[in-house]
Amino acid sequence: MKKKTGTTGKECPVEVALNVIDGKWKLRILYFLQNETLRYNELQDRIPAVTQKMLTSQLRQLEKDGVVTRKVYAEIPPRVEYSLTPIGKKLIQVYRALNEWALEYMDREFTGNIS
Q: Which pLDDT band holds residue 10 (cuts at 50, 70, 90)? A: confident
**Predicted TM-score (pTM) of this structure:** 0.80
Which CA distances in Å does 95 have to 40, 62, 91, 98? 22, 15, 6, 5
Given a cut of 90, whether residue 84 has pLDDT beyond it is yes
Given a cut of 60, whether residue 103 has pLDDT beyond it is yes
Given a cut of 90, whether residue 6 has pLDDT beyond it is no
pLDDT at res. 108: 83
Separation between Cα atoms, residue 97 and residue 91, nearest integer Å: 10
For 11-28, how does the pLDDT look when each residue is reduced to its tens digit (9 = 90+)?
A: 899 899 989 999 999 999
If you average pLDDT over residues 45-59, what whole number do you get?
A: 96
Domain coordinates of the chain in residue numbers? Answer: 13-111
According to CATH, the topology of domain 13-111 is Arc Repressor Mutant, subunit A (1.10.10)
